[in-house]
Structure 1
């Protein structure tokens, strides 16, 4: 491409010539230009060039002699401050192929910034022939101007070296420069005049320029310093807001970290992904995808709660299919390997990051979390596979020997056992299980979890957690129905916020929903499932099948509505079975539901997800109310019908009552509310020694005062019965967990016991909702275990078994594996501790119907099926397959009730009390009282020493006051004597 332009050829200035005028001679030149490229088109324009790629940067360095680059960021304050000054220099000194000014955004061109070692913004770098010769960090206008002027001088002469320009203290004016044109003779006078003129001009301009430059430099330094300190403080405060009391590694530089320590102190630790909410919002970013094996399929199976669960199964290879290649010979494709891990930027990080530094730190935390999550998943899979292999290898049963079956089964023949667990376990083992299948209970989403979550969305969950910790004993909620590990022997009181509390604030009502209902539902659902197994479904179906029946009535006294939700699950299952058989019609079973709630705020919340429910502020008291008949105006000839309930769930009602007679009054009230014809009373308390003692006291009182003894069993001893609570005893029996109706082997002495180690309690695993997990302060684990003590009693119906306890224990020890008659499940021994699995035998700690705690041993030589079922048994199961050996197990029930020692029991030394009268006060001291044996600690000794010192100082002050008074008195007497002498 040929272009014709007009170029100006200037005459060369020679300072040694006397003339000062120069003439510009213009000539016409024809210059040949190539096609316009980046280097030839962009640099013809004035102003800085914005670099958009690595190619543009390389082209700029290779096609330009001097390049002044500004490495900046959009969020950088000093960068914005010095940008106008950089643009002025660019417009003034830009020259095509000689001098170019470039702006490089470090966020968009991170590779260029990393290659040039840029660590702070702004950074100015000067390149000569592609090599960096000068670096200026920070917003320093004077230093930048000086460096640009030096760099511009390099572009005009190719002979100059960058080292000579940027390292020498200054330039030499005048000499050394070649003179163009014809030489002339020396003129001494003219040369002297020129030198004097130049020196004068130099001195004049020097002082004025230095003064202005100093002022401008000082102002720019002050602005830069103020701006830099402001930016550092901003970074530090944003780091505190984002990461709280933690700090990512290497997030702040030395100056920023020093300011951080001065403002907030050193951070507690390095930031973890949980500190910035990454585990909660990890689903917003990329996910880790693990390919499913080709021989594995999935099915959706409906669970008992109405939801669906995914079930995996193996697909058997078909005939004719080619075998899959081995992992050694198979080479995965790039696309297949990309499916295994998806690396995508997190939407959560992009949403919360306020600057590139935060984004980089959060991205690193997200990657650490994903790596840890993937490793945890791999470890769990590997551990599960290893456990399955060890279990299968060490304890694999000979199924052909246990369950012989012929190769050809007639079409009309029915197998004795089906597939799955019914084929691998004895039927009596499955009937005696305490936990269902699956062992973990899932809280109903539509009727419990979702309504509570919707109610909690109105309040910040952090405030609800604070209120829950204040109401339920602190971190971990130890006084809620759930007791954290390690807090069982510390706080052994009742629940901190019972549902019958008359006054609750708005935040306390939300805390009750979030911290009380989930574990309460799990414990009540577990007990209801066990009661349904032991009584059978007949006691529910009989009421539902009656024509015109109102159904079953239930009272939730203490569970806060969670008991009603659990009861609806059981009742709906029985109703669906009857509806499939065509016995009943309709989608909802009839019945009456009542719950005790003392607070209006709590009642309004429970109404949103407990329809058709009656709310009572307290328990009805029929024990002290008279009959409504006779002479009263609002009564008829017949007494009015009183309320009675087929099921009463008394959850956490007795432990909060400190006195035994208060518990007796609550029990009497509940018993009068219970239906006389088969009503069921369930008592649940917390799983610690005091909670067990409250449940055991209720059981002991029922057996001694309310229920008739069973056939073949002696009546429980009744000592010191309160005549005010004496009732006519009636039929009834204990449904669960006890298999005997005698004295509890762990509660032989009534009352509290010091140092109790063994007590009867059970556990239930459940899936924690997200809001409940946050209440506990653990956002990663969604599995929880609630432990509880309970007893279930049926009123009006005795047990069908006629055998005494010792006889039932003998039969259970012999086992029912090959027995033609089925056992009575309520007479079988129950496991009160987890089974001890050893190589070749299993040890079971059971509570027998004889009323003893025994240790039964089931070796492999006794029975392979019994040994297999014993290894798979769980805590709380009933055992029906017998054992080979049995021994009595001692129970650690503590030191007994504190009765005051031997002297209170009538020992040899009587108690002597000395009564004295001191200053009108009557005091009594026991002469034979025991001395304090406990040695004083260091703090007590220091306290006693301080007391002695203070007493000594008081005594010394009194003596000094007495001496001073005596001296004053002597002086007065002497003055009086002198006055008398003068007279």
Structure 2
């Protein structure tokens, strides 16, 4: 009896309500008490053999950069709303925010793009710059501009900083910062993101030239992130450096390449372990990050790049002979949920936006050696997806920055393997991809020779 009822038990679902006579098309099976005693619970039935389930590899999960849509902390949202409520005329906040947006757009691209020559990896080009910096509309951050920045710009910057610091926390298991220096802190955006990512931080310092910005940062961080704020960057060689030094959306406001280099080297002196530089994801922002990265690598032998580059050679997207930094540059994207105050400032009905950014994470010490049993050191050489992958029929096309300093296009076909193909299908812009391609790799930009290699060849 049980063997005959076993298949039947898979199809029967007993319901506790009366079946309407009008639904005559449904098939109803009535069982008496004797038959119900012989039914086997569904939980005790043997499961069918569905075969192995292909999941993403651990390496692909480790190289994943996605963190989902970023949401601002509720305490920060509450403090910004309180700051806006104290403003005497809320309509001026949107007017001031529009001026900030226009000033940021004015520095998005290089001027006279068709007339400027391409930069190359030579000492004079890095020091003086082959590209003229755009003439930015200078914004003096007074009390009105500081409030407008917090209400209209800060959420996007918070999202990109959170993504970069989350990657840093994920990639370096031995990095537990106790102190942080946020250069160009503005309303304390970097301090909020760092405190949310690294809970062990107990000493925070924010530096900004605008006193009104520092007042806003103190107001937003009151009772939540106690920090020390100052207007100028000071350095004492007798004092220990900061475990984490952050400069987000600040270097681009410096109108001279010489001052940019001086600032970057001062920040490196303040660093005892990790330096994080972030700029807007525009051609100018990318060029600023690439030059700052090269300044440190040229002057400091005891330094290496953690992310996003899998190498310490000059950036091929800026210094290569065939580079087109105005059309093809390295940047990434992070989505953020717009708080209500930002939607009102922008007069927007969409509650999300994408923040584009360029960044580099540099650490003191030699580049870690490869270890077969250590995924963390292996990830240093995994190619980085610098553009969204093209997912075609039975193959995925990826543009990556390779460990040899070249920009390569690799194809992962379905025939390469189930795990490799699934990892490629699930990959996204910004991920570090762990699998090499069995197909021929096409080099789009050759590696840039180092200065000593150029000297030896000449």
TM-score by length of 1: 0.37
The residue number in structure 1 matching 2:51 is 400
- Pick from 199, 211, 235 the counterpart of residue 600 of structure 1: 211
Superposition pairs of residues 426-441 of structure 1, within 5 angstroms = 426-436=57-67, 439-441=68-70
Q: What SS does the aligned partner of 1:784 have?
A: strand
The residue number in structure 2 matching 1:744 is 315
The residue number in structure 2 matching 1:168 is none
The residue number in structure 2 matching 1:756 is 326
Superposition pairs of residues 902-921 of structure 1, within 5 angstroms = none
Deviations 1:290-334 (A, max 9, x none): xxxxxxxxxxxxxxxxxxxxxxxxxx99953379989x959xxxx
The whole-number CA distance in structure 2 between the counterparts of 1:844 and 1:325 is 57
Q: CA deviation at 1:682?
A: 0.6
Deviations 1:902-930 (A, max 9, x none): xxxxxxxxxxxxxxxxxxxxxxxxxxxxx
The whole-number CA distance in structure 2 between the counterparts of 1:658 and 1:886 is 44
The residue number in structure 2 matching 1:320 is 14
CA contact (8 A) 1:494 1:686 kept: no
Superposition pairs of residues 672-751 of structure 1, within 5 angstroms = 672-675=269-272, 679-706=273-300, 708=301, 731-748=302-319
Q: CA deviation at 1:615?
A: 0.7
CA contact (8 A) 2:287 2:325 kept: no
The whole-number CA distance in structure 2 between the counterparts of 1:659 and 1:399 is 64
Q: CA deviation at 1:878?
A: 0.8
Structure 1 position 612 matched with structure 2 position 223:
no
Q: What SS does the aligned partner of 2:15 have?
A: coil
Superposition pairs of residues 894-933 of structure 1, within 5 angstroms = none
Deviations 1:401-433 (A, max 9, x none): 455xxxxxxxxxxxxxxxxxxxx3211111110
CA contact (8 A) 2:79 2:220 kept: yes
- Pick from 566, 569, 573 the counterpart of residue 196 of structure 2: 569
The residue number in structure 1 matching 2:102 is 473
The whole-number CA distance in structure 1 between the counterparts of 2:317 and 2:228 is 38
Q: CA deviation at 1:571?
A: 1.8
The whole-number CA distance in structure 2 between the counterparts of 1:399 and 1:848 is 39
Superposition pairs of residues 965-976 of structure 1, within 5 angstroms = none
The residue number in structure 2 matching 1:771 is 341
The whole-number CA distance in structure 2 between the counterparts of 1:615 and 1:680 is 21
Runs of at least 5 residues in structure 1 that lack an aligned partner in the other structure? 1-315, 331-397, 404-423, 481-486, 544-551, 573-588, 628-640, 709-730, 804-818, 893-983
Q: CA RMSD in A?
A: 3.4
The whole-number CA distance in structure 1 between the counterparts of 2:135 and 2:360 is 17
- Answer with 1 or 2: which has the greater Rg: 1
Q: CA deviation at 1:654?
A: 2.3
The whole-number CA distance in structure 1 between the counterparts of 2:197 and 2:360 is 19
Structure 1 position 464 matched with structure 2 position 105:
no
Runs of at least 5 residues in structure 2 that lack an aligned partner in the other structure? 1-9, 25-48, 113-132, 447-458
The residue number in structure 2 matching 1:539 is 175
The residue number in structure 1 matching 2:248 is 651
Describe the shift of the 1:467–1:864 C-alpha distance in structure 2 as closer, same or farther (beyond 3 A): same
Q: What SS does the aligned partner of 1:698 have?
A: helix
Q: CA deviation at 1:518?
A: 1.0
Structure 1 position 784 matched with structure 2 position 421:
no
Structure 1 position 830 matched with structure 2 position 384:
yes
CA contact (8 A) 2:109 2:134 kept: no
CA contact (8 A) 1:852 1:888 kept: no
Q: What SS does the aligned partner of 2:440 have?
A: strand
Deviations 1:770-823 (A, max 9, x none): 221233332x1011110011001012x2222259xxxxxxxxxxxxxxx98746
The whole-number CA distance in structure 2 between the counterparts of 1:317 and 1:566 is 53
CA contact (8 A) 2:306 2:361 kept: yes
- Pick from 880, 883, 888 the counterpart of residue 437 of structure 2: 883
TM-score by length of 2: 0.76
CA contact (8 A) 2:265 2:296 kept: no
Q: What SS does the aligned partner of 1:849 have?
A: coil
Q: What SS does the aligned partner of 1:608 have?
A: helix
Structure 1 residue ranges (4+ consecutive) displaced by more than 4 angstroms after TM superposition: 316-319, 322-326, 487-498, 819-823
Count of residues in Structure 1 that have an aligned counterpart in Structure 2:
387
The whole-number CA distance in structure 2 between the counterparts of 1:469 and 1:744 is 34
CA contact (8 A) 1:682 1:793 kept: yes
CA contact (8 A) 1:687 1:789 kept: yes
Deviations 1:437-471 (A, max 9, x none): xx11111112x111001110123432101011123
Larger RCO (CA under 8 A, 6+ residues apart) = 2
Structure 1 position 554 matched with structure 2 position 205:
no
Superposition pairs of residues 121-520 of structure 1, within 5 angstroms = 319-321=13-15, 400-402=51-53, 424-436=55-67, 439-446=68-75, 448-459=76-87, 460-473=89-102, 478=105, 504-520=141-157
CA contact (8 A) 2:109 2:326 kept: no
Q: What SS does the aligned partner of 1:824 have?
A: helix
